[in-house]
Structures are given as structure tokens and as C-alpha cells.
Amino acid sequence: MHTTVLLHEAIDALVTQPDGIYVDGTFGRGGHTRELLSRLGPGARVIGIDRDPAAVAAALDGPDAVRDPRFKIVHASFAQLPGALAERGITRIAGLLLDLGVSSPQIDTPERGFSFRFDGPLDMRMDTTRGETAADFLARADERHIAEVIRDYGEERFAVSIAKAIVAVRDAGTPVRTTRELSAVVARSVKTREAGQDPATRTFQALRIFVNAELEELEQVLNAALDLLETGGRLAVISFHSLEDRIVKTFIARESKAEIDRRAPFAPPARALRLHALGRIKPGPTEVLNNGRARSAILRVAERLA
């Protein structure tokens, strides 16, 4: 069952104009969208974006459908947000919400290949209509590239050993094609692991991030937000691991400072402030107790300046 993390805190931080245009850039199963609609007036519009066809289908039909005339769902990556909005005649928005990472329905569906808890094809694509699967990547990439991905996106100190093992079984004629096979290879390669953490956790995270270009797409949508947000518009981003949060934190910090030419310190700033950082919010102890996924969540909020 999917429980929306930082539900009320995110919407509290996001809404400043009851009749504005808002974007939920990671619709998932619509938890944030429903709360957002409940706070907005009759003149508001909410655009839901999701790259997962299953999420888009759920938004249109079934128990997770959002039947509100103010809402529209769009099948797209949030990096494609400017184009998706332009097609609908939207050039400015009052708020953008991003709830990063993988959703519970994706994790809990074995055939999606996101979790080592179930056996299934090693897919890991958030958009199942395009792109290379994790299995396809592991079948073609050389040992060095595999190690770089696992190290850089999973912060895995045994990345080289894991990559060697993946290539060894591939060369032996039994390439890794399923989640259970990958989990077994990693388990044989990881010498120690933090208490309570499966040895495959970091490798699965790394492959998922790489296959979906998650960090690159996050940087793209953050930069796009500067042009899309109207004056006073809010950006709210929930991240679940340090790689994502570092990008969001660095972006907000950079855009919240004027760029001064040190050769002419009394001249106008070379680049004016574009954002005002409004702070960082973490889930309270009750939410963490009731929803383990909330444990690592961080919400960062910023407001667009004139």
C-alpha cells in the first residue's frame, strides 16, 4: 500500500494562490494531487505529470482515478515539463511539486524489476514504453562502466567486486536477467553490510537511477522551474537519498545568492537572486513510525523572486 510522504507539509508549503496553476511533477498514485485539489479554488488547474504508463492509467480509471475537472494527467518525464505545458498553453505556474524516487506500486509489482524482495525480470524502467532495461545494460556494458554506475549512483564501496561478478557470470553464459539472479550475484560479492540492509540495496538503487537518468532529469526540471514559476511561485521537492538531496540543495543555494563580480564589487550583481530558500522539512516521529519510507525523506522549499 502506498502512503504519501510529507503530504500536508508539502501542500502547506506549495500553495500560495488558491486559483493558480500547479504541477504535480510526480503523480504516482495521486496522493499529493488530491490534497492539492482540496486546498484550491474553482478557478485553479492542476497538471499531473508521470512517465509511468501505469500511473497515468491509474489516474484515468480505477480506484486511484482523479475525477476533477480542474485536473489533467500527462504521460511524460518531468524533464519534458516545459514542452508538455506549452502544448496546453501554459507558460507560468504558481507551484511545482516533485516527490522523487520510486513509488510503492512500482516496488510492489514484481514484473517491474525494482525490488530484490520479489523475483521478476530486471527491467527497472519507470517508462516501460521506451529505453533500455537494467538487464540489457548489464548484458552489454563493460566491467568498468558497470562499476562506475554502481559506485557513483549507489555509493557502493564494493562496486568493483560486484561488477567483476556480473561480468563473470555473463561470460560464463548465464547473464543476469532477473532480480533474484542479480541479488544473488551481489550477495556473493559484498563482504559486509550495515545492519538491517540487504546487500543488494545500493546496487538496485544505482541501476534504477542510471536506467532512468534520474539525476540528469532532476537537474533539467529544476532549471526549467526558474522560467516556469511566476513571481511568488513555489518549488517543493521531496528527496529520499543523498544524491537527489545534494542536487536540490545545491540548486536552491546557488539560485538564492546574487553573483557578484569580484573585480567590480560595487557594480550591480552579474546575476540577480532568482529564488528565496524557505527551508528544509523532515517528517515527524509519528510519520516515520507509521511509514518506514518516510525515514530518509527531506522536503526543500523555495520561492521564485521577481
pLDDT tens per residue, range 124-178: 999 999 999 999 999 999 999 999 999 999 999 999 999 999 999 999 999 999 9
Q: What pLDDT, on a 0 to 100 scale, did the predictor assign at position 262?
A: 59
Dist. CA 150–CA 148, nearest whole Å: 6
Confirm if 83 and 91 have CB atoms less than 8 A apart. no
Q: What pLDDT, on a 0 to 100 scale, did the predictor assign at position 260?
A: 55
Give a three-class secondary structure readout of 13-55: HHCCCCCCEEEECCCCCCHHHHHHHHHCCCCCEEEEEECCHHH
Q: Give the chain's residues under pLDDT 70.
A: 1-2, 259-271
Q: What pLDDT, on a 0 to 100 scale, did the predictor assign at position 88?
A: 95
Q: At what angle do helices 201-211 and 214-228 cross, to 10 degrees?
A: 50
Q: What pLDDT, on a 0 to 100 scale, did the predictor assign at position 191?
A: 78
Cell of 206: 544505482
Q: What pLDDT, on a 0 to 100 scale, did the predictor assign at position 136?
A: 98
Query: 60-92 burial by CB neighbour count: b if 16+ within 10 A, else e?
Result: eeeebebeeebbebbbbbbbbbbebbeeeebee
- Total Cβ atoms within 10 A of residue 42: 8
Dist. CA 306–CA 234, nearest whole Å: 12
Dist. CA 133–CA 103, nearest whole Å: 18
- Report all structural domains of the chain as residue ranges with CATH numbers, in order of start: 7-105+214-304 (3.40.50.150), 128-211 (1.10.150.170)
Confirm if 73 and 59 have CB atoms less than 8 A apart. yes
**Paired residues of 47 in beta bridges:** 23, 72
Q: What pLDDT, on a 0 to 100 scale, did the predictor assign at position 283?
A: 95
Claim: this prediction has a pTM higher than 0.85: yes
pLDDT tens per residue, range 227-246: 999 999 999 999 999 999 99
**How far is the CA of 7 from the CAs of 17, 63, 188, 255, 258, in angstroms?**
18, 19, 39, 26, 32
Cell of 251: 540548486
Dist. CA 85–CA 28, nearest whole Å: 19
